[in-house]
Copies of this chain bind each other. A is one copy, B any other.
């Protein structure tokens, strides 16, 4: 019995990586090893599946230039089973059949040349059905001229093809299948050419249903050409730089941090190290503020605020975000906040600034504390907690301006008022919260 059979309800995956990839030949490497945003397509697919909650075995099916791909998997220590498919010239349907015997009852079929995010995998895994296809009724990045089109009726895919004149969405190249259902097609699919689309057609012809899982505009694309590689890198960076940002971050910081992150993608720097770099910039800025170099200190504070976005962007772009990394970054951020406020309060050299720093420090840390404490207690942040502009990007911009404009007391008072007012608002909102 293969190991995976014993794993209860785990979901496995077949990653189809055996094809020719003709149009990427100029890259010099087999298509699965082409790089997007610092990761090969193959490693990105594996990480995305895991990050999306897939817990069973991942079978990577290799064919064309299979030895190179196999060697890469071993060298990188990828946690996958490599399955050789000598039949790959007959079509990628044979690759699915080759992988199936190593997979549990439920498994995902993923194309190595499709770039997805963990959220899309998570959404797919949440669907029920013997055959679920991720589709996109509002495609943003994928090219409707290149991709497979689908017709959808009542949440079911009823037809598909590259040339469909009328269509409701695109096939996103990500599927959730049941092995026992697909196993019934082995004989029906004894054709000479056997693509994955042939298998899907056989399934539909046998009366099987294909449940549509609508990604509805989520970032995904497929990669066939060098231009696609660049486009998908833009997509990944854009997705990595999105989030629940404050206004300064959204309109200013992210535009710069994204450019920095792009340069860091292939650098031997971990997101933790980028967190430390941002902290070092903040500490340096705080030191300059404390030494009375207010203008330069203010500039460094704003720079630290920009670089503070890069650690998370880098982690998301490389599909290696972790709660541990987020806690590490958040803790360093709080220390940086404390250093910056102390520097500004003490560097001005006046009693007034030294006093104004205390409410500023308390307010800044209380905004962060109330959010964390509430999430710890209830597992989530109440929606009414968000909205006011006491986010870190705003606070740091106020403090940086306080330095650059040589107005430390005003900046500290503003920080104190912003932070404490928001914390007080949360405390009052807490009264109304049902628990």
SS of A interface (majority):
helix
Contact stretch, chosen from A116-124, A206-214, A253-261, A358-366? A358-366
- A362 / chain B contacts, CB cutoff of 8 Å: 334-335, 338-339, 342, 361, 365
Give A331 to B423 CA distance when docked, in angstroms. Answer: 8
- Closest chain-B Cβ to A337's Cβ sits at a distance in Å of 8
Contacts of A330 in B (CB 8 A): 373
Cβ-neighbour of A323 out of B323, B326, B377 (below 8 A):
B377
Are B372's CB and A376's CB within 8 A? yes
A370 contacts the other chain (CB 8 A):
yes
Residue of B326, B338, B366, B376 near A358 (CB, 8 A) is B338
**Hey, what's the 0/1 contact readout for A309-349 against B, CB within 8 Å counting as 1?**
00000000000001110111011101100110110011000
CB neighbours (8 Å) of A371 from chain B are: 376
A368 touches B369 (CB 8 A): yes
Q: Which residues of B contact A433 (CB under 8 A)?
A: 324
A345→B355 CA distance, assembly (Å): 9
- Knowing A323-B378, A362-B361, A365-B365 are in contact, say whether A426-B335 is a contact too (CB < 8 A): no
Please indicate the chain B residues that have their CB under 8 angstroms from the CB of A139 in the complex.
Answer: none
A174 interface residue per 8 A CB criterion: no
Check A370/B331 contact, CB under 8 A, given A342-B362, A362-B361, A365-B365: yes
Beta-carbon contact of A345 and B358 below 8 Å = yes
> Do residues B334 and A366 form an inter-chain contact, with CB atoms below 8 A?
yes
Q: How far is the CA of A322 from the CA of B334 in the complex (A)?
A: 28
Bound Cα distance from A370 to B322, whole angstroms: 16
- In chain B, what residue has the closest Cβ to A349? B351
Q: What is the CA–CA distance of A435 and B325 in the complex, to the nearest angstrom?
A: 9
Contacts A330-B373, A357-B358 given; 13 further ones with Cβ under 8 A?
A323-B378, A327-B374, A327-B430, A328-B427, A331-B369, A342-B359, A345-B358, A346-B354, A346-B355, A365-B365, A365-B366, A369-B372, A372-B372
A residues apposed to B, CB below 8 Å: 322-324, 326-328, 330-332, 334-335, 338-339, 341-342, 345-346, 351, 354-355, 357-359, 361-362, 365-366, 368-379, 423, 426-427, 430-431, 433, 435
5 contacts between A and B (CB under 8 A): A323-B377, A328-B430, A331-B373, A375-B376, A376-B376
